[in-house]
């Protein structure tokens, strides 16, 4: 990776929300999103969360990529899951030019906008590693 990179999320775009894959949740994601929706944690979990022994993730609806993706974008934007907030500064993307370039094929915000120092991007990648220790 270079010393700095460019990124600016593009208004109206929702491409990253439409990609295949899981949206993993931290325990604080669960509490925050349930509160944002005005639901009890129990009701939120029942409706939107799938748990395995070590992980929690959003359930995927049958006919869409995410329950919270509406026409205007993410309907829980202010409280969205950590991995959604940190994208595209995920460790696996920052650590690999190839993966970064692959992501640029669907994310029009990569290589646009203001320069972001690599240290600041790496700090976000660290937050991601700490938030989801089972994934890294
Ligand atoms: S794909 Fe990129 S530009 Fe589009 S919403 Fe996601 S982060 Fe923003
Ligand atoms: S929670 Fe919001 S940001 Fe994350 S995938 Fe769903 S719609 Fe996109």
Instruction: Name the residue with the closest Cα to ligand 1, atom 4.
Output: 13
Note the residue count of the chain. Answer: 136
Q: What whole-number distance in Å separates Cα of residue 131 and Cα of residue 25?
A: 9
Please give the pLDDT value at position 1.
Answer: 63
Please give the pLDDT value at position 46.
Answer: 98
Q: pLDDT tens digit string along 5-47?
A: 999 999 999 999 999 999 999 999 999 999 999 999 999 999 9
Q: What whole-number distance in Å separates Cα of residue 47 and Cα of residue 129?
A: 27
Q: How confident is the model at residue 4 (pLDDT cuts 50, 70, 90)?
A: confident
Helix (H, G, I), strand (E, B) or coil at 91: helix
Q: Which atom of ligand 1 is nearest to the CA of 15?
A: 1
Q: Which atom of ligand 1 is nearest to the CA of 8?
A: 3
Q: 64 with 58: CB under 8 angstroms? A: no
Please give the pLDDT value at position 128.
Answer: 97
Pick the closest to residue 92 from 135, 46, 62 (CA basis).
135
Assess whether the C-beta atom of 116 lies below 6 angstroms from ligand 1.
Answer: no
- Strand 49-51 with 110-117, pairing: unpaired
Q: pLDDT tens digit string along 74-114?
A: 999 999 999 999 999 999 999 999 999 999 999 999 999 99
Mean pLDDT over the full length of the chain = 96
**CB-defined site of ligand 2, < 6 Å:** 17, 23, 66, 68-69, 74, 76, 80-81, 84
Helix (H) or strand (E) holding 114: strand 110-117
Pick the closest to residue 87 from 73, 100, 98 (CA basis).
100
């Amino acid at each position: 990776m270079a010393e700095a990179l460019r990124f600016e999320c593009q208004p109206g775009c929702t491409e990253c929300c439409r990609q295949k894959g899981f949206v993993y949740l931290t325990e604080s994601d669960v509490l925050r999103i349930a509160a944002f929706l005005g639901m009890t944690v129990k009701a939120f979990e029942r409706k939107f969360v799938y748990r395995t022994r070590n992980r929690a993730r959003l359930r995927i609806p049958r006919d869409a990529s995410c329950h919270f993706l509406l026409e205007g974008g993410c309907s829980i934007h202010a409280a969205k899951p950590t991995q959604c907030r940190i994208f595209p500064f995920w460790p696996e993307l920052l650590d690999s030019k190839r993966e970064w370039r692959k992501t640029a094929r669907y994310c029009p915000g990569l290589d646009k906008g203001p320069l972001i120092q690599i240290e600041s991007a790496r700090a976000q990648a660290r937050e991601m590693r700490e938030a989801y220790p089972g994934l890294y």
